[in-house]
A and B are shown apart, each in its own frame.
Chain A
Amino acid sequence: MRDYIRVCDVEKYYGNASNVTKAIDRVSFTVAQGEFVGVMGASGSGKTTLLNMLSTIDRVTAGHIWYGDTDIAEMKENALAEFRKENLGFVFQDYNLLDTLTIEENIILAMTLHKAGKREIRERCDEMLRLLRIEDIRDQFPYQVSGGQKQRCACARALINRPRLLLADEPTGALDSRSSQTLLETFTDMNQKMKATILMVTHDAFSASYCSRILFLKDGRIFHELIRGSKSRREFLNEILDVLALTGGEGSDDR
């Protein structure tokens, strides 16, 4: 598999001269096309910062992030927006759906910003609604549907423009276990059937067990990596739990 995204020596500092916080400290890794990568770590380990930089919402302090031959660390604001539009899709914990638009319209909006034609938009939208099994709620408003449905709508919106990378930030964070499972199965489907490359940030071992590879982050550094390979999901989950137990787990920070 070709290296699709290369993160080279990325650093991110916050604060001022007297008080510097290193959120990300010389992190490097690659993601291949079609991979489903998970990033795990306790609260404050730098997961979301890393995701924000990958998603061009935040800028690196030092280092490079290559998407193919493009280094987004060097790009200007407008070019970044364009890049984001063409290459990235987002799924967030709190769905980020626009409450004044119906489920279908939320999906359409992402395409109209791409200046796609009416017919193409309609076809793609119908297809997405069908794939994510949210056809029957297409005319509902976000406040009328369940969290799982909202999140699937967010997925549909993220995937409709066929992005090179789907970024998911704690996508199951606000869902009950049943909906979480359905959503993660959807992610797997998207990864396998639609060949979507996914980078998911989570601190939930169960969610992470759906990934094909997991990066463990602690204090802004990658300290471990797990690859699922041909292991079953249950075996993989146990491995993850072992790693978490070794490092004090996610709970150690919270307590």
Chain B
Amino acid sequence: MIGKLAFRNVRRSARDYLVYFLTMTFVTALMFAFNSLIFTKDIEEMFEVAGLMMALIGLATFFIVLIVAWLINYMVRFMLEKRSREFGIYLLIGMRKKEIARLYQRENMLLGACAFLIGMVLGVLLQQVILAILYSMIRIKYDLHMEFNQYCILMTSGCYAGCYLLALFRCGRRFRKMNIRDLMEVQKKNEEVRESHEQFKKWLFPVSVGFLALFAAFIFLGGIKGGGQLLFFLVGLVLVIYLFYIGLSAWIICYVRKRGNAVYRGQNLFLLRQFSSKLKTMSFTMGTLTALFTIAFLGCTVAMMFSDYQNKLLDVKFPFDVQVNSGDAEDDFADEIQLIGEEAEILDAFAYRIYANVPEDALTDLQDSLSAGQTDGCEEKVQSADTDGCKEKVQPADANGCKEKVQSAGTDGYARRPDQVNIWLSTNLKVFGKMYLQEDGSPDIEKIKKDSGGVYCYYDTYMKLSDYNHLRRMLGYPEVSIWDNEYLIHVKERIQNEVDTLSEDVIIEGSQGELKFAGYYSEPFSQDGHNGGDYVVVIPDSQAQQLVPYYSELAVDIEGEAPAGLGNHLDDLNGSDDEEEESEDAEEDQDIAGHRAMSENSCCGSDTIIVMSVENMVRDNLIPETRYMLSTLIFPCFYVGLVFLCVALTVLSVQQLSDSAKYKFRYSVLRKLGMNRREIGRVIWKQLVCYYLCPVLLAVVIGGSISVFMSGKFIFYTGIHSAVFYYFGLSFLLFFGIYLLYFITTYVSFRRNAGAED
């Protein structure tokens, strides 16, 4: 009998709490689909960084389980309250509390199981969509196929069951404390509006708004410095999110009590009172919803940023089909060319040198160190330019030499130094801020030298015009010509706007004296270390006599796509060169992504956030890999964003819908007071809009300021061409799409419920 009762109750609950049921279904589907990203075999085999995806999805899952558990717990308590009269009747006819508790738990389990099963079916479909998106992201053809990995199913059901266990954990206790009278009375009890200390509480509202303004001002003016302030603002934000609603409710109550003019207009009195009492009883829930919305916004924004980066910048990052770096300035790349030739059809293979203006006294040391074939140094960086110097071996001899040069340059400061461009960039680019400036505003040369080999090389990097034009031809750019007494600078597009005065501050000397500046070029040119870091100075061949080959590069143009694994083969090739050291260095040579780092006498450029500077760059290998790495960030962010959004919206909807019985009475009173159906419709509309908009508005303000700030930084550091509001705008649109869906569903059912007596 109890089983039958439970089944019937589940059917009714599923109908009454359709939104909740659908959300649980959707959450299951999302869980399954995203978990399957971890267990996709193809990908696991393809990328060595597959573990990263697992870690990040796992992290996302952790938070999602917590939040979904909160949702279930909330709903369980909520339904318990709404059905208290029914439970009272069960007690009245002689059921024991334990039996009722078991009945209720069984119902919830059944409801959960139904949602889970339907969710899994939906999940298989969603899995196809998500895998198709991922595969198209990493440019691999995807054939639709069902993937039922048992671990994936196990993990999904594990997470789901975990949510339920967490949620139902404390449910039994509530039943033990029940008594029949209370249960029967709960329904009859009117909403008790307890007003106390409202005058005091209302100040929380302006204080919260003030804090938000302060927060916005601080992050936009770049004022948050240090852990202390960050902690202050974080704690403040959490407090504000919760106190805001208490303040707002008190503010409205005080306004109504003061009988402000708006109170006497139309249905305002009714709306204001409804809203304030709702806020008052729900301030904690509202705060939590705001927090969820904010996180959802931020998650989507981050996902949008990186996906935009994928679409716009990745191709620009790797202009050449294959590019190989060698620390050996005399390398002829014969082995590499042969290997590439074996695996693909070479259209053009061009080996060239990058030069430096090395002072004579430092020359012998440089050559010593180069011939030693050092190959540790700059790797893939995901953080800002804080790499320590990796060139100590070249350093010692030249310190004096440099100083002498500076002295001879006299008033020019560091002009004519062999690293004048590096110094100029280190002290003038916004990326570095005041990092390399001394207190008096002059360059902190010692620090620059100490850090060289990271962002910039130890010396400025030069290229011969003939080499430059050959490379331009390979990339399909028009060739350039300059006079014999001129030079040009090829810079990354990102910094082009910042280097206007560079040409005025540096003095480039050729073999026949000072050269004149002929202009900047900024096409994609592989300047994350290969063709210089950020820049390369191009001088006529005839002027390059006093320059020393610094390191060698090979650029290869091949027919069609490069075969998978070419990059790894090239890495292996280099590895076998210095076999005697291999046992020791093999581990160190490999960076996170499993590629060889570049030679010591190169650098990475000032790009941050995503930098791929590896010795052997094969575009068609690296792009999918980078895309995959980015998608390990993008997917979990979307995942978290979507789930949080749905959970928050479910709570909002269920709250409103289950209150519609109470509202039915209120609207019938309004009807008797002479409001017609259209007017009541308008009141319902206004009420729902207020209720729905309130937590979102706050989340938009908080999430919006943080997003815009993050986007600004992202755009600044990556040099991507997007407006600051772009990412937030996109997530906002996505957000509102889902939001509108929930709103319309709620509005329609709410009207039906509340106006049922018509």
Contact = CB atoms under 8 A, between A and B. Distances in A.
A45 B276 CA distance: 43
B666 interface: yes
Given A105-B273, A108-B263, A121-B264, A98 B676 contact: no
Given A96-B669, A105-B273, A77 B266 contact: no
B666 A98 contact: yes
Given A98-B666, A101-B269, A101-B270, A108 B672 contact: no
Contact of B673 (A99, A110, A143): A110
Nearest to B191: A99
A52 to B, nearest CB: 10
Interface string A110-123: 10111111100110
Given A96-B669, A113-B266, 7 more contacts: A78-B677, A98-B669, A100-B276, A105-B256, A109-B270, A112-B266, A116-B264
Contact of A141 (B192, B256, B264, B673): B192
A98 B675 contact: no
A173 to B, nearest CB: 16
B686 interface: no
A81 interface: yes
Contacts of A81: 671, 674-677, 679
A122 B258 CA distance: 12
B173 interface: no
Interface residues of B, number: 34
Contacts of A108: 263-264, 269
B665 to A, nearest CB: 8
Closest 9 CB pairs of A and B: A85-B674, A81-B676, A99-B190, A100-B277, A118-B264, A84-B674, A100-B273, A78-B676, A96-B669
A97 B276 CA distance: 17
Given A100-B273, A101-B269, A121-B264, A85 B675 contact: yes
B678 interface: yes
Given A105-B256, A113-B266, A117-B264, A100 B191 contact: yes
Contacts of B269: 101, 105, 108-109, 112
Interface string A71-94: 000000110111011101010000
A171 to B, nearest CB: 14
A121 B274 CA distance: 21
B261 interface: yes
A32 interface: no
A78 B61 CA distance: 53
B690 to A, nearest CB: 14
Contact of B193 (A86, A99, A109, A115): A99
19 contacts: A77-B676, A77-B677, A81-B679, A82-B676, A84-B671, A85-B673, A85-B674, A98-B669, A99-B191, A99-B193, A110-B673, A113-B266, A113-B673, A113-B674, A114-B674, A118-B261, A118-B264, A141-B193, A143-B190
Interface in A106-150: 108-110, 112-118, 121-122, 139, 141-143
Contacts of A57: 671-672
B667 to A, nearest CB: 10
B268 interface: yes
B267 A113 contact: yes
B575 to A, nearest CB: 75
B227 to A, nearest CB: 45
B266 A115 contact: yes
B contacts with A: majority SS = helix
Contacts of B672: 55, 57, 84, 90, 96
Interface of A: 55, 57, 77-78, 80-82, 84-86, 88, 90, 96-101, 105, 108-110, 112-118, 121-122, 139, 141-143, 157
Contacts of A122: 259
Among A97, A101, A114, A118, chain B packs the most CB atoms within 10 A around the CB of: A101
A112 B264 contact: yes
B192 A101 contact: no
Given A105-B269, A113-B267, A78 B190 contact: no
B679 to A, nearest CB: 8
Contacts of A112: 263-269
Nearest to A114: B674
A88 B269 CA distance: 21
A122 B263 CA distance: 12
Among B269, B666, B672, chain A packs the most CB atoms within 10 A around the CB of: B672
A96 B671 CA distance: 11
Contacts of B276: 100
Contacts of A109: 269-270, 673
A100 B264 contact: no
Nearest to B195: A141
Interface in B572-624: none
Nearest to A163: B674
Nearest to A111: B264
Given A90-B672, A108-B264, A141-B193, A100 B256 contact: no
A172 to B, nearest CB: 19
Nearest to B665: A96
B264 A98 contact: no
Contacts of B668: 96
B464 to A, nearest CB: 82
B674 A98 contact: no
Interface string B183-199: 00000001111000000
B674 A100 contact: no
A114 B267 CA distance: 10
Among B273, B277, B675, chain A packs the most CB atoms within 10 A around the CB of: B273
Interface in B648-666: 665-666
A30 to B, nearest CB: 24
Nearest to A97: B669
A63 B188 CA distance: 38
A98 B261 CA distance: 21
Nearest to B676: A81
A100 B273 CA distance: 6
A117 B670 CA distance: 19
A113 B671 CA distance: 11
A20 to B, nearest CB: 22
B258 to A, nearest CB: 12
A101 B678 contact: no
A77 B191 CA distance: 31
Interface in B40-58: none
B608 to A, nearest CB: 54
A103 to B, nearest CB: 12
A101 B257 CA distance: 10
Contacts of B190: 99, 142-143
A81 B264 CA distance: 20
Contacts of B270: 98, 101, 109
Contacts of A90: 672-673
Contacts of B192: 99, 141, 143
Contacts of B676: 77-78, 80-82
A100 B673 CA distance: 16
Nearest to A76: B676
Contacts of A84: 671-674
A117 B673 CA distance: 18
Interface string B132-169: 00000000000000000000000000000000000000
A24 B263 CA distance: 42
A99 to B, nearest CB: 4
Contacts of A88: 674
A215 B108 CA distance: 55
B656 to A, nearest CB: 15
Contacts of A77: 676-677
Interface string B678-690: 1100000000000
